[in-house]
Structure 1
Amino acid sequence: MHLELPIAAFTAALLVLVPLPWHWRAKNVPTLSIVAWLFVSNVIYGVNAVVWAGNVRIVATVWCDIVTKVQIGATMALPASCLCLCIHLERIASIRNVQSSPAQKRRRFLFDLAMCWLIPVIYMALHYVVQGHRFDIVEDFGCRPAIYNSVQSVLLVWVPPLLVATLTCIYAGVSLRHFFVRRVTFARHLQNSNSALTTSRYFRLICMAIVQMFWGLLATIVNVWFSCRTGLRQWTGWADVHFNFSRIALFPTLFIPPDVLRWTFFTWWVIPISSVLFFVFFSFGEDAMKEYTACIQWVARTVFRRKGTADMKLSLPSFVRKPVPRKAVPNVDIKVTTDTQSTRFTDTAFTPHKEYPPSFDMSSSFIATPSTTASFSTYDSSSTYIVPFPTHETHPLPAYR
């Protein structure tokens, strides 16, 4: 039993969902289609690896009828989605069309839907022409689509994805050329085209499309070689090719040659690796970091507060001085003499504590002089003023409230 297969498939399915929010806000049909096809393909691979781990039992036949067609459709949908993305990026980078009217945006939306979803559905329907029997079940890998290896299968199943991948590489190369030619004014050009793309996001999309297409070309070529390594079969007619169509071929790993098993593992890992590549290109940029920060703040603001931990007001103990009753003392008359006038006022600001120590002597005094911040024109330094002040003042200990 290969535990790494379901773990890798389900992990890859979760990874492709990480950049989904900002692609959804951008309303980018090709990238959303790539996310959808990769997610569904990884879920299928994970479920198959769990159900048929170490066995080739004939179970979940309806599931196999559906998912084998989806696997065939993904073979065409991923290159077609990348082609739509590169066509859009090349149109933005060129100077042919700076502004897009609502009618042009609608036509582009319909074109993207047709390329990313309608053509794969047609491709799935054409697979029935070269489908020799219902499906295959391979131990540890689950159900796989059946293909009658002939010239017709090469033309209907393998050539279209190769052509689409080649066109994608051509459009990606032209887009990169526009990018480097206008690299100085490229950001302003994107702004003038009313596109939500930034320079860094544009470059990541182009690089992702190129890497995905080279990886897809390699995987498709290897798959064609692996399927046709023993030679092509002769097309003997529709009735002969589809004879006993309802049969299900079983392939236990005990009877699979080691080299064939290695190539089976390689073709299985194509989808999870493509998902990881998509995650790497879109999950470590500046936009992604902003999304992560916003998500963490949302979790801290909602989830934890619902549990009650964030609503608790925690604070350190505070020590407040206990108020002490005061008693008034006789008014103190202070005479301030200046060069221009003589002013007499009553100062009652000083009110000592009520509790005086036993040794308090009202005859004790301190010398008071005008403050240096007072706005007097002149000051007579010979003038001193005697103000009563306690020699011993009690200060109560801080009280904890």
Structure 2
Amino acid sequence: MKYAVLTVLSLFAAILVIIPIPWHWRARNIPTLALMGWLFSVNVIYAVNTIVWNGTVENKIPVWCDITSKIRIGSQYAIAACILCLCRSLEFIAANRAVFVDRKSRFRWMIFDCCVCFLIPCIGMALHFIVQGHRFDILEDFGCQPTIYNSIPAIFIIFLPPLIMAFVAMGLAGSAFYHFFKLRLAFNEHLAKYSSALTAGRYIRLMGMSVVVILWNTALYLYNLILNVKLGLRPWTNWADVHSNWNRADQYPLAYATDAYIQNVVVYFCAVPVSSLVVFFFFGMGEEALKEYARLWKWIRRGIFRRRDVPSSSIKPSLSCYTYVSSFSSNSDD
């Protein structure tokens, strides 16, 4: 495989990005859970594409391409939307405008986060059909690619919304940092009013992850917008013309692609795995993560030694595996 390193990178990133999910699930942190879910999905898509279409442009799995092309469009909205929701929460807390005063208000906040992190990307996927000139493209070694009819409507539907959300997120992040440094000496006490689990260290990690991911992706969004405008916008004539011969899947061998084009594809390919590694660095290497790893190791070690202490004559062969699992589950909360 010519781009085997990209396959390995995607699979590695997919595994790492879901490791912090359990403790964020317990905290019901919707933006971070949604971000990890979207990044995991796209990493898996990238890995499958590079394996299935290694050295070929054959249209092997059309339905897979239809679905994954839409998910990739949605992920552009989703990454910016998730960071926007996270920065909004952090800014509200830092500025003493948090609304987590009771269960009902917290539920409304979670509903809002779910709508922004999932509904907006779904709307973007639906609107993509307006500027989807044909079903999809297949690029050798990289697999299915979403298609965009490069026009003024595409600017407003595909390129600008993620960029606007990214700029808003950066503004909220800047405001959150301002309030954090303003209250830095008493910030732990300030956070305790809203969440006993959120410390200054965790707050900084959330802000750091948000800033790094949003800056990295904003640069790519902006570069992508400028590049597509430079390539030239096509005139929007009418619906029938834009969607003529819509069912086709264009195929592009790399032999006909320029080096600059391939470099751009590789850079955009790496955007999601790199974002996933950033998320793991901030969430998978923090204090709470290390405590989770220690708990997991303790649980495994306790189960292994307990298993060794049970006399072999007391275990029925047909039920041994169930006894083993039961001994773990009954002590998982110790």
Tell me how far 1:311 sits from its aligned partner: 5.3
Give the secondary structure class of the aligned counterpart of 1:235. Answer: coil
- Write out aligned runs for 1:43-122 (5 A): 43-97=44-98, 100-122=101-123
Match of 1:246 in 2: 247
Match of 1:205 in 2: 206
Deviation by residue 1:206-239 (Cα, 9 ceiling, x = unmatched): 1111111100111112222333332111111111
Q: Letter of the 1:10 partner, please give it.
A: L
- Shift in CA distance, 238/300, structure 1 to aligned 2, threshold 3 Å: same
Give the secondary structure class of the aligned counterpart of 2:18. Answer: coil
Give the secondary structure class of the aligned counterpart of 2:144. Answer: strand
**Unmatched tracts of structure 2, length 5 or more:** 312-334
- Shift in CA distance, 303/78, structure 1 to aligned 2, threshold 3 Å: farther
Match of 1:337 in 2: none
Q: Letter of the 1:36 partner, please give it.
A: G
Deviation by residue 1:240-287 (Cα, 9 ceiling, x = unmatched): 000000010101010111111111111111000000111111122211
CA distance in 1, matches of 2:195, 2:21: 22
Match of 1:155 in 2: 156
Deviation by residue 1:10-41 (Cα, 9 ceiling, x = unmatched): 10000101211111111100000001000001
- Shift in CA distance, 98/257, structure 1 to aligned 2, threshold 3 Å: closer
Match of 1:225 in 2: 226
Residues 137 and 146, structure 2, Cα contact 8 Å, conserved in 1: yes
Tell me how far 1:304 sits from its aligned partner: 5.9
Match of 1:270 in 2: 271
Residues 64 and 143, structure 1, Cα contact 8 Å, conserved in 2: yes
Match of 1:353 in 2: none
CA distance in 1, matches of 2:99, 2:32: 22
CA distance in 2, matches of 1:304, 1:266: 48
Q: Letter of the 2:262 partner, please give it.
A: L
Tell me how far 1:99 sits from its aligned partner: 5.5
Give the secondary structure class of the aligned counterpart of 1:249. Answer: strand
Q: Which structure shows the higher strand fraction?
A: 1
Q: Letter of the 2:54 partner, please give it.
A: A
- Shift in CA distance, 195/128, structure 1 to aligned 2, threshold 3 Å: farther
Tell me how far 1:95 sits from its aligned partner: 2.2
- Shift in CA distance, 99/111, structure 1 to aligned 2, threshold 3 Å: closer
Tell me how far 1:195 sits from its aligned partner: 4.7
Tell me how far 1:298 sits from its aligned partner: 1.3
Q: Letter of the 2:165 partner, please give it.
A: V
CA distance in 2, matches of 1:226, 1:195: 46
Deviation by residue 1:348-376 (Cα, 9 ceiling, x = unmatched): xxxxxxxxxxxxxxxxxxxxxxxxxxxxx
Tell me how far 1:295 sits from its aligned partner: 1.0
Q: Percent identity?
A: 43
Q: Letter of the 2:81 partner, please give it.
A: A
- Write out aligned runs for 1:167-182 (5 A): 167-182=168-183
- Shift in CA distance, 155/305, structure 1 to aligned 2, threshold 3 Å: same
Residues 98 and 192, structure 1, Cα contact 8 Å, conserved in 2: no
CA distance in 2, matches of 1:257, 1:17: 36
CA distance in 1, matches of 2:220, 2:12: 21
Give the secondary structure class of the aligned counterpart of 2:197. Answer: coil
Give the root-mean-square deviation of aligned CA atoms: 1.4
- Shift in CA distance, 132/195, structure 1 to aligned 2, threshold 3 Å: farther
Match of 2:19 in 1: 18
The structure having more radius of gyration, on CA atoms, is 1
CA distance in 2, matches of 1:267, 1:97: 36
Residues 99 and 105, structure 2, Cα contact 8 Å, conserved in 1: no
Question: Larger relative CO (CA 8 A, sep 6+): 1 or 2?
Answer: 2
Deviation by residue 1:36-90 (Cα, 9 ceiling, x = unmatched): 0000010000000100011111111001100000000000011101111111111
Residues 132 and 149, structure 2, Cα contact 8 Å, conserved in 1: yes
CA distance in 1, matches of 2:212, 2:48: 27
Q: Letter of the 1:109 partner, please give it.
A: M
Residues 226 and 263, structure 1, Cα contact 8 Å, conserved in 2: no
- Is 2:280 the partner of 1:299? no
Residues 34 and 117, structure 2, Cα contact 8 Å, conserved in 1: yes
Give the secondary structure class of the aligned counterpart of 2:184. Answer: coil
Residues 150 and 232, structure 1, Cα contact 8 Å, conserved in 2: yes
Residues 19 and 288, structure 1, Cα contact 8 Å, conserved in 2: yes
Q: Which structure shows the higher helix fraction?
A: 2
- Is 2:187 the partner of 1:193? no
CA distance in 1, matches of 2:257, 2:97: 55
**Unmatched tracts of structure 1, length 5 or more:** 313-401
Deviation by residue 1:118-163 (Cα, 9 ceiling, x = unmatched): 1110010000000000000001111010000001101110000000
CA distance in 1, matches of 2:256, 2:100: 61
Residues 132 and 243, structure 2, Cα contact 8 Å, conserved in 1: yes
Match of 1:129 in 2: 130
CA distance in 1, matches of 2:44, 2:217: 19
Q: Letter of the 1:43 partner, please give it.
A: V
CA distance in 2, matches of 1:256, 1:74: 26
CA distance in 1, matches of 2:236, 2:194: 52
- Shift in CA distance, 208/280, structure 1 to aligned 2, threshold 3 Å: same
